[in-house]
Structure formats: C-alpha cells, structure tokens
Structure 1
Amino acid sequence: MHDDDQQDQAVGAPEIVAVREAHRLDEAALATFLGDHELLDGPLRVEQFQGGQSNPTYLLTSGEARYVLRKKPPGQILPSAHRIDREYRVMHALRDAPGVPVPAMRAYGEDESILGTEFFVMDYIPGRVFSDPGLPDLAPAERGTLYGAMIDRMADLHSVDVDAVGLSDFGKPHGYVERQIKRWRSQYEASTDAPDANMIALGDWLADNVPGDVAPAIAHGDFRLGNLLVAPNDFTVAAVLDWELATIGHPLADLAYACMPYYLPQGIPGLKGIDGMDLSAAGIPSEADQLARYRERRGIGPIDDWPVFMAFSLFRIAAILQGVYARAKAGNASNADALAVGKQATVMAECGWKIARNAG
C-alpha cells in the first residue's frame, strides 16, 4: 500500500478510474517501453485520471514506482493541437526554475506504433486538485492562501529567463496576442458548422484592438487553479500541470485567463465562475487584489488594455470548448463530461462580447 493512498481519498484528490474504452492502451507494449527505460518495479497496473478535456492522462503503478503518462488522444484532431512534445520540452526545461514546480520528465515515446499516438512519462506527485474556483471545501483563510500561491507561481514563471532555460526558440517573441486571435478563430471555425454571432463579433473586435508587445515570457496558456497540484498537507503548489498550450508570449494573457472566473456567473454547471459570490466573506481576493499582487511580485507598473486581455481569454476558451464539443461528438474526447462542458462555448462568447461592448 502506498503512503499516499489515504491522501488519494482526501478532499481534492484527483479522481482515478478504470481506463475508458476509447483510451485503452497496449499495456504489454507500454511495459516493454518502461522496462527499456528502467522504470519498471514489478507488474504494471494502468488507470486513468478523470478530468481535463484534452490529452488522456494515466496513472502507472509498478511495485513501489508510480508515474503519470500523457498521450495524444486517438482519432482525428485539429492541426497544431495536443502538442505533447512541447509540453514535455517545457517541463523538462523548467525542472530547476525557482518558484515553478514541475514533475520530473522520465521518457518520451515518439514511436506511434507503441501506443497509437505519441506519449511521455513523468513522475507522479501526490497532491490535490481544486477545479472549482469557489473552493467550496476549503476554509476562507485556505482559499486566500491558495489564490495567492497561484499568482506567485505565475509571476515566478513569467520571470524565468527564457534564454537561460533553453527556450529561446520555443515561440515567436512578438505578436503573440495577434497570432493567438488568428489561431483560435481558425480552430473555432474548424470545429463548428454554425458559428455563434457573439463569437464572430468578438473575434472582429479583438482583431481591431490588439494590445502592444511587452518583454516576452513563458506563457503557460492554461494557468488556473484546476491546473495546480496542491500539496497534500498545506496550500503550497506542488506542481504546475498541463503545459500543452505553453509558448513564448505575452504574460498578461496568462493573468487574464486565471482571472476569468471573476466574470463568469457562480452556480452554472461547466462555467466555474465566482461572479455573484461574497468574495470577502469567502476569503477570496478580489480581481484588483490579484492584479496588485502580480504587479508587486514582478515589479511592473499599471496594466494597460486589461479588458482586451480578458475578452481574449473568453474568446480563446470558447474556441477550446467548441473543439471539446466537436471531439465529444466524434467520440474521442478525454473526459466523459466533454459533451456537457463543450456546450458552454456559447456562454463564454457572450461574456467576452459583453466585456468588449463595455470597453467601447
């Protein structure tokens, strides 16, 4: 029995389930691969993490050894999506970066004949995941601590010297937001036969209001509470997860994305919003508090074009959710709840367009 088995039953413990039929692996081929990389410590057991809408993620247990496997999903996927090679590279590059905890990378499987798609293996780190930004299972002081830790880890990531960690060629240093608008508009259009009017209007507005460049940084691309692995016994961040969208880009895109729950209504399934909560009573910092904490930790001045970054975040997540919905209809999304979650794309587009209209 593993020492963290009790933790696995605790509040916030990731849900581990039997491997879904659509995501079954050739376990014999996987065992051979692990053995070749000296990662086996006995018979192999494979289970799947429930949650996340993109790359299937598995828990591998072999004797006392535990690892996590991430792989591209099966079936037809959109161009440039599910770049687990980039995910592997950025986490490996950040292995010694101060303030940015990541799991140790163990092996990369580029030969698709092994498991059907590319994959990688990394260390398993015990911890908890809190995907609901309202943090209903925590006390007010604990909520405030975790929200602060999220901002601190993000600011530390954005302070990493890109050249020093070998990621100078990981993305284009300028024009990030403009490229992202084009990318997600293209991905959205490829995922639907009936584009939403709010999404079209929002895309047009963003194209006309692209913010200026700043010093480039490593942008995680999906930085939020649900992608932080929280330590089992306190509210420090044990690891930052899910790096497939990482690139060299505008750091404020990450900050806006993490602040998105402030603009989404509380209590609607799939939206994960806190708009309408009594934040002070809940112990959750306000958006202004989070922005001030980020600025102080990074030593930067006032943030310009904040409504543009927030509207862009909603535009991007709407496009991502539309892709989730399209994959769910095709039967190859990685989460059993993907159909329900994907339908929230229209709500995200509506919220983003409201911000754009109010900004003028």
Structure 2
Amino acid sequence: MKKIKVVVVDDSALVRSLLAEIINKQSDMTCVGAANDPLIAREMIRDLNPDVITLDIEMPKMDGLDFLGRLMRLRPMPVVMISTLTERGAEVTMRALELGAIDFVAKPRIGLTDGLKELSANIVEKIRIAAAAQIKRTPPTQAVARPDGSSGGSVALNAPIGRISTEKLVCIGASTGGTEAIKEILTRLPADAPGVVITQHMPPGFTTSFATRLNSLCQITVQEAVHGSRILPGHAYIAPGGKHFRIDRSGANYVCVVEEGELVNRHRPSVEVLFKSAAKVVGKNAYGIMLTGMGGDGAKAMKEMKDAGSYNYVQDEASCIVFGMPREAILCGAADEVLPLLDIAPALLQRLKGSSDRYRV
C-alpha cells in the first residue's frame, strides 16, 4: 500500500520530533521531511513531493499564513495547520482555512509532549482526511454594502425575500471544509432571511472567531449560540465548539439549547443532535442543508427531518472538499436536491420567495 508522504513544518525541534514520531508509527503514512522554516519547507516540497504538509503559524523568516497563501497559489496541496489555542491563534486559523488549509489541530500551550501524544489519533486522522481531500479554491466574490453602510466582505447579495412566516428555520451541518462552505451560504442570504442554526465540527476556542469573521461578511447577524436565547429571523447561530446545540420551543418561539453531553457519532457538537431536534420541533417549516465533511454525522437525522416534512439540500461531490457527510445523506434518502455549493443559497431563496406560507404585504 502506498504510504501518505508528510512534510512537517514547525520552528520547534521538539514539535517536529513529536509529529514525526506520531506519523511514523502509522502503517499508512511516513514523515519524509521536517523543516524549521518555510524557506526550507519550500525546497523539501519541491524535492520530496509530499501528499500532505503540517504547518505551524508562527515561524521565522516567513509567517505561516504568508507561506500558505503562496503555496495555495503556486502549488495547491493538502495542508493541516498546527494552531496554538489562543484568541489570536483562533483568528489566524480561520484565515488559514480561508486561504485553503484543509483542517487544523489545536496545539496545547502547556504540557506539549503529553498534549501532542494525546492528540495523536486526531492528528493522523486529519492527515488521512487531507490526503484524500479535493483541493480547490472558491472564486473570489464581489464586495457589497451592509445595511449599516459599511463594506461587507463577499457577494452580490440577493434582494430581500419579503415577509415570511417566522416559523421557517434553516438548519446547516458541516465538517471538514465547512467553514468556507458555510461562508458561501451565509453571505448570500439577505438581512430578512429566516433564522439559521449551524453545527460545524470545531473544538472549543475557535467558534467565537468563526462567528465574528462571518458576522463581518454577512448582511444577517452571525453569533455563537447562547443557551436559552431566542432564535430570530435575520440571525445565524453557530454551535459553540465542544458543546451540543439543539432547538427547542418556548411558547411560540424557537430557542437555543446549548449543553454538555456524550459524544454523538464521535462528535460534540454533533450535526445529528441539531437535525434530530429540527425534525421534532420545526418539522415542515425546516430547510436542511448538508455541506462538505468526513463521516456520516447527521445523515440519518436529516432523513428524519425529511420524513417530518422539511426540504433538504445536499452539496454535490464536485464542490465538496470531502464528500462523506453529503454522500451518507444522499444514501439515506435525505436529499431533495443535490447541488453545487454556490447554487444552494439561490435555490433556497427561490423556494422561500415562492413559499405558500408567506405573509402578503
């Protein structure tokens, strides 16, 4: 069996040694090189032709983000970021995913040796996923004006929908590659869109930066879900990293339920948890969206949503970084439409504009 060739790029000799040891213990991968700065890494990539690189962010001679940007322009390849779990580390990691990194590992700030060894299963799983991922760049989008007159970040937004029933709710699930896919959906929604609830597989400490970044780009308001808060139209709520997120009712209103709990499908937050609650609480007023990701989390619950009357969109294989979760949703019979990523929001808005539940004004 052909082994996955990995180049490790990190300015810490200890980290390079630990990562190489973790990689070389696997039967299906090998560390073919370790570089302490991007300039050496550039030569290694040229000479060794690796399948995946792991990349630190803060390094001498060239910042990891600068190197990643150049790499994805000149020689796109799978990259797994090794990110320190700090506020700045989270912000920079979000930027790395935007530039094209497949995924990231949150590097512990203390107890580095034991911490990385504890993360070894997570690290090698992400390397395997990256090796199989489709590397692509989303075309740049046009800047637009936000409602407050400031410059938004991304796309020519659709016209307002007009008043629709506040019962409507959009439910999104994603994993690997999902941060950019979610951005492509949310930046195409007008300010009067229905409420949106989102579970993206992400560890604690990173979803705050993710929500803040999206909020700066969108006409809708984007925030982390807070337990007990009302779900409002024109707002999107993201599951906090490391916690489950589901929907409940309080009288006539939908509310956020954020809670601890056991892993579901090896994940917390889990798409399964969110989609099951949508099937139970929202029913025919839900619109489900399954985006890129490894595994099958949420697929069966999305079928439950459909059985309860929801209308579901699933991202197609060609536009996915990883087709696992969408494939499983399709195989479960959960999809009403399978569409390229950039067609999902327009299709959703067209359906909302034609909804028989619209308020006529």
What TM-score, normalized to structure 1?
0.29
Instruction: Report the structure, 1 or 2, having the larger helix content.
Output: 1
Which structure has more relative contact order (CA 8 Å, sep 6+)? It is 1
